[in-house]
Amino acid sequence: MRASKDIADLIAIMDRLRRPQDGCPWDLEQTFLSIAPYTIEEAYEVADAVERGDMVDLREELGDLLLQVVFHAQMAREQSLFDFGDVVEAICAKLVRRHPHIFGEARDLTPDQVKDVWGEIKRQEKAARAAARASAGVPAEPSDGALSGVPAGMAALTRAVKLQEKAAKVGFDWSDPRLVLAKIREECDELEQELDAGRPEALADEIGDLLFAVANLARHAETDAEAALRGTNAKFERRFRHIESRLSEQGTTPAGSTLAEMDALWDEAKRIERGHKG
């Protein structure tokens, strides 16, 4: 099949891969549940390409993410649920509906007013969706409480921040970042107690509490927790590669070195980075 810029070709290829009589065995055995992890993974790879500023890679990763949309739509079409056109129609309608200041009569809104309008429209959409689900005999969505609407499959760190943001909207929040920092110290003390006690399940619980508190501090500091951790991951990779490189020059490897030797090279990597920043 020739290369094309037409989305119809991508849909046709996916249809061919899922053809029961002679399609791809791997593609044919997939379900919504089995494909969902790949969808999440591709979204992260898009974010990674953006973070690195690699536009060549970004084009490739956006294509992989688009394939995930087409894959889900194909499986839905096979079950007579909806198809790719319905997906496009739904998002187009939503964009027009949520931008009345562009496509409707509302004009000259401030960014805060746009946010308020967006929130009100989302509430209306949720009510309409609940009514549609009821009329179709589909089970109701989870409780409409203050914390509803945060997907369980979201990355845990990001989900923690989203839950905290929703709780904050109804007044359940710290008033000062230093109070959050005090909570982190408290969680560290509790974690130390569990380390001494040697209770694995309680230890895991306290580690979760600590991570949740750190995510809360990032939110109060107006810092993207995921981005901050990605930056630290990249820094760790960079410094550890420096260790590997320097040890290779010495004819050895991390496995053949002591922790003290690797620590010294870690500190060397830090000094080099600081020198570049200076």
**Is the residue at 145 inside a domain?**
no
19-to-4, 36, 69 alpha-carbon distances in Å: 21, 21, 18
Let me know: does 84 contact 11? Beta carbons within 8 Å. Answer: yes
pLDDT tens digits for 190-239? 999 999 999 999 999 999 999 999 999 999 999 999 889 988 999 999 99
Q: Is residue 95 part of a domain?
A: yes
pLDDT at 277: 66
User: Domain range for residue 219?
Assistant: 156-223
Judge if 21 and 124 occupy the same domain: yes
Query: Of the candidates 233, 232, 239, 234, which has an alpha carbon nearest to the alpha carbon of residue 268?
Result: 239
d(CA 117, CA 111) in angstroms, rounded, equals 10
Residue 150 · residue 161 · CB < 8 Å:
no
200 plus 118 within the same structural domain: no
Examine the fold and report which residue of 207, 223, 239 is the final residue of a domain before the chain moves on: 223
Global pTM reads 0.66
Domain co-membership, 57 together with 164: no
Q: Among all chains, which residue has been given the structure tokens 């590997």?
A: 244
The verdict on residue 67 lying in a domain is yes
Say if residue 205 is in the same domain as residue 250. no
For the stretch 164-171, contacts whose Cβ atoms lie closer than 8 Å and that sit 24 or more positions apart, written own/partner, are 164/215, 164/216, 164/219, 165/219, 170/146
Only one residue has tokens 């500091």, namely 221
Whether 11 and 123 share a structural domain: yes
- For residue 151, what pLDDT is reported? 83
CATH of the domain at 190: 1.10.287.1080
Same domain (yes/no): 178, 66 = no
Instruction: Indicate the average pLDDT of the chain.
Output: 91
Can you give the pLDDT at residue 1? Answer: 56
Domain co-membership, 11 together with 120: yes
Residue 27 lies in a domain: yes
If asked whether residues 130 and 39 sit together in one domain, one would say yes
In a domain, 208, yes or no: yes
Instruction: Please state the domain count of the chain.
Output: 3
Residues 191 and 259 in one domain: no
Considering just the CA atoms, what is the radius of gyration of the chain in Å? Answer: 25
Contact 130, 139 (CB under 8 A): no
> 70, 105, 135: which is the final residue of a domain?
135
Q: Is residue 147 part of a domain?
A: no
pLDDT band for 264, please (50, 70, 90 cuts).
very high
Same structural domain, 219 and 236: no
- Both 218 and 263 in a single domain? no
User: pLDDT: is 125 or 218 the higher one?
Assistant: 218
Structural tokens at position 38: 């790949």
80 within some domain:
yes
Residues near 151 by Cβ (< 8 Å), separated by ≥ 6? Answer: 159
